[in-house]
Structure 1
Amino acid sequence: MLLNAALGTPDDSGRLLADMGLRPEYFDRAVRIGERSREQCTNDDAKNARGTQDYLTRVRELRFLLRTELGWKRYDPKQAPLIVNPDKTIAIGVLLGDARTGLPGNPQPRSHRPAGITKEAAVARNQSLQQLSLFTPTTGPDDEVQLDDDEYANLATWYLLTHRFEGKKSNIVEIRSELSLPDRIGPKGRIDSWRARILLPPVRIEEIQDYTGDHAASYVVDVQER
């Protein structure tokens, strides 16, 4: 699959992901379990605890799924958590996006925060690559991978980009997401252009508040579309 592939839509995301040996369910599960992990936080936690817990759980769940089901391996360059396919050609990380995340067309979404050194290096590698190779699974001695300079240079780094909306009146939370390949960092240090985007179906969840005690917290219920 060429890196400058046309933007995906929820209808063709399955086909595009299949070219990479992936399925939409992996990302749906990571997003839903990340959202449910917010229940662990209480009003005594720091204000950003729920978002941080959501992010950390999403990273863990996505890496666990791809590692145990597809033989991918963990990779942590400069403490940036990635998961790498057995052929060492594709890496996936987790990233927060803005309100354009998961929507087709322009303007394209931007990363929520400045990219940082590790992501800047990933974008530079992506710009130099011409083609994505499909992988042939191989085995390794453990659950982590080490890359030499040549392998690192040929690693295309994608991100599960997500944005969370809270409906203040409806209590419905919608998480829009896409698997996208960053191509440029804008003047404010945020990724603002993507060489390829695979849009994923949104996740809609009902958020219910429980104010029964000092350890009150919200909890979530899946909303199924009919």
Structure 2
Amino acid sequence: MVSNILIEPKGKPEGYEAQLATLGLQWKHFERTIRMSEQARRSGKTKDDAKNAPGSQDYFTRVRELRRALRTDLMWHPYDPLQAPLIVNPDKTIGIGVLLGDARTGLPGIPHPRSKRPAGVTKEQAVARNQDLTLPFEEPEFDLPDGSQSDDDEYAQMVTWYLLTYRYTARQTGVVTVRSELSLPDRVGHGGKIDSFQRRILLPPVEFEPVRDYAVETTGDIVVSVEER
């Protein structure tokens, strides 16, 4: 088992701070990312923007702010395999991307959350590598000469985690809540959506004041923004 895979603790689960610390991370990095992306969602739309502009701004800001935080605080570096942006630790053993989940995001137990949209080829490859790296590692029969590794080879021992987020608006109060988790996917299921995770670090929900300046659709007891990306 490679060292960048967290083992499920026995007995009482560890708090999210301790679990993040195992990866060399802190909650502040993710909280700021979520708050900044919500701010971008709210401030980035005018009457001339496309209807999906808030969701797009939310996504781009999540990517940028998470990468900026880990790059400046921890010397991680950006990595963009086939336009699927990640931020990677100096050892190239842990990569983190952003991903939208469904209503199970941030909630304990089974079923696990599903990605809102199909994973795509690059994410499917990352999930397959996550599966491979949980097996006992075997040295290759032949080592490549120094300096001959490709860019992909440099990241061969990297597992890929995702910051999953789910945003909803309470029907009665209008308060916006973003639930999130940092999770390690291990399966792409029906419809090409990620639907199983080897490890889930559930993060605190973040609440925001009501906002009603873009179209919404009603689902059960919550109102969900249709621009969610």
Q: Structure 1 residue aligned with 2:5, among 3, 6, 16? A: 3
**CA-to-aligned-CA distance 1:137-191 (integer Å, 9 cap, x gap):** xxxxxxxxx9644432211000000000112331100000000001000021000
Once the two structures are superposed, the pairs formed by residues 36-55 of structure 1 within 5 Å of their partners are 36-38=39-41, 39-55=43-59
Please say if residues 101 and 178 of structure 1, whose CA atoms lie closer than 8 Å, have aligned partners that are also in contact.
yes
Q: Could you tell me how far 1:209 is from its partner in structure 2?
A: 4.4
Residues 42, 11 of structure 1: alpha-carbon distance in 2 compared, 3 angstrom cutoff: farther
Structure 1 spans left out of the alignment, 5+ residues: 132-145, 212-226
Matched, 1:13 2:38: no
Higher relative contact order (CA 8 A, sep 6+): 1
Once the two structures are superposed, the pairs formed by residues 36-185 of structure 1 within 5 Å of their partners are 36-38=39-41, 39-130=43-134, 148-185=151-188
2:134 is aligned with what amino acid? Q
Instruction: With the length of structure 2 as denominator, give the TM-score of the two structures.
Output: 0.80
> 1: distance between equivalents of 2:175 and 2:100?
19
Q: Structure 2 residue aligned with 1:29, among 28, 32, 55? A: 32
Residues 11, 44 of structure 1: alpha-carbon distance in 2 compared, 3 angstrom cutoff: farther
The residue that corresponds to 2:223 in the other structure is none
> 1: distance between equivalents of 2:194 and 2:213?
37
Q: Structure 2 residue aligned with 1:207, among 202, 205, 210? A: 210
Residues 166, 10 of structure 1: alpha-carbon distance in 2 compared, 3 angstrom cutoff: farther
Residues 168, 44 of structure 1: alpha-carbon distance in 2 compared, 3 angstrom cutoff: farther
Instruction: With the length of structure 1 as denominator, give the TM-score of the two structures.
Output: 0.81
Residues 100, 113 of structure 1: alpha-carbon distance in 2 compared, 3 angstrom cutoff: same
Percent identical: 61
The CA RMSD over aligned residues, in Å, is 2.2
Please say if residues 125 and 156 of structure 1, whose CA atoms lie closer than 8 Å, have aligned partners that are also in contact.
yes
Secondary structure of the 1:29 match is helix
2:8 is aligned with what amino acid? A
Please say if residues 4 and 94 of structure 2, whose CA atoms lie closer than 8 Å, have aligned partners that are also in contact.
no
> 1: distance between equivalents of 2:34 and 2:78?
19
> 1: distance between equivalents of 2:18 and 2:116?
28
Secondary structure of the 1:203 match is strand
Structure 2 spans left out of the alignment, 5+ residues: 136-148, 215-229
